[in-house]
Structure formats: structure tokens, C-alpha cells
Amino acid sequence: MIEPRYFITGTDTDVGKTIATAQLLRAFVAAGHTAVGMKPVAAGCEWRNGQLYNSDVAAHAAASSIQAPAALVCPYMFEAAISPHLAARDEGQSLDLEHIVSAANQLQAWADVVLVEGAGGWFAPLSDKHNIADLALRLQSPIILVVGMRLGCLNHALLSAQAITDSGLRLAGWIANQIDPEMQRYADNIAYLQAHLPAPMLAEIAFEQNAQDLTLSAQAITLLACGTSAKQAINN
């Protein structure tokens, strides 16, 4: 069964969470669902026509089937391209997790599926007290892990998956994003992760300049619809 909301996290920053989110949004739309992306916190914004602009938020908007209110799709925007907790502190703000949860809940009235893209990795800080994992726990949504395929990704992926499952949340699947086109033994690394991660690989994203504008394979939606039995179905 397709869930009304998924939380997208990554093995690190700059591993392709936005690319994966945009491609997955288009896949949901192609499968007949209304879908919208949410970026709770966006750092590294710039002013355009009197408004803050963020490329990740813009990518979500381009891939979504509806245009929801800006205050809901991105409750917090900051100019500095630094960790959100530092950007918020520098601008004299604090990130309210309940405000983010409220915005995410309101988005449910706008679309069949809401994809919430986190910042950085699973334990990236949002304040001195809270991190991305805390936000995901508040949202209580299945998790999709984006694995940036490069040297060191096996350790990062397994640690992230362990932390997610230890939190009590369900890892619905993972997406392999080929961020290093020169990665040695790429296929062997994929095979290892398929054998050891406790969730199905939903898709592979090849290294392409226009990857953000493409659509993820329909198989990703099928596997998500399979729910907890997806990995078993693949292995049988």
C-alpha cells in the first residue's frame, strides 16, 4: 500500500536527496497520484524578486503535480549555505519541529503523497537539542534512504540503516545514486548493499547532468506498494 507520506534522508549531504525526491515525485505522478515535495528547512537560499529562492525547493515544485503554499512546502529558509541549526541561530531564529509537522500534515490535504526531504544525513542537527532523526520521529513516516554511491558508502549506508531501524521507524527502501561516475567496483558495491540493507533497493539513478529532470522507474512505486514484504518478494 502506498503511504500518504515518506521521509527522504541520505547517507550524507550532497548525495542526491533532491534528485531522488524529484525523480520519485514524477514517478508517483506518472502512476496516477497527486504528489508534492516538502523541504522543511532550506539553507543556501538567495534573494530573487524580493523572495528567497532555493534550488531544492524549486526542483520539488517542478516535479510536483500541484503547487501548494510556499509556507507549507518550505517553512524555514536561510541564506547561509551552512548547517540549518547554525543558519537559524545566525538569523536569530529557532526551528520548531511542531511547526514543521503541522505544515506537513496540512500538505496531506493537497496531495495523495507528500515527500519530505531532510537536510544532510540522519543525525544532521536542527538545533542544539534536535536533529533530523527527531523530526522524522515526529512525522512518523516510512523512510527512504538515498545512498550516494562512492568510496565509503557501504559503511555510511549500513550505519544509517541501523540508526533508522533502531529509532523504530520503517525503512521502506533505498535508492542508489551514482554520484561518482568513476567509482570502482560499482556493481559489487550495489550487490553488497542489496544483500545487507534491511529494505529493497527501489531504483538506481545513473550519473547524468539532467538527472533532476528525469523520472524514477515505475518499479520504485511498485516496491513501495509492496510494503514490508518487498525485500522478501525480491529475494524469492
Catalytic residues, by residue number, are 39
Torsion, Cα of 52, 146, 173, 9 (10° steps)? -50
Residue 21 · residue 58 · CB < 8 Å: no
For 183, phi then psi, to 5°, come to -60, 130
Instruction: Spell out the residues 6+ positions from residue 196 whose beta carbon is closer than 8 angstroms to its own.
Output: 158
Which stretches does DSSP call E strand in 22-151?
35-38, 41-43, 46-48, 51-53, 76-78, 113-121, 143-148
Residue 146 · residue 20 · CB < 8 Å: yes
Residue 129: how many other CB atoms lie within 10 Å? 11
DSSP single-letter state for residue 79: S
Which residues on adjacent β-strands are paired with residue 144? Answer: 8, 173
Which residues on adjacent β-strands are paired with residue 128? Answer: none
Residue 107 · residue 38 · CB < 8 Å: yes
Which residues on adjacent β-strands are paired with residue 114? Answer: 5, 36
DSSP single-letter state for residue 131: B
- Please give the helix or strand (H or E) that residue 173 lies within, else none: strand 171-177
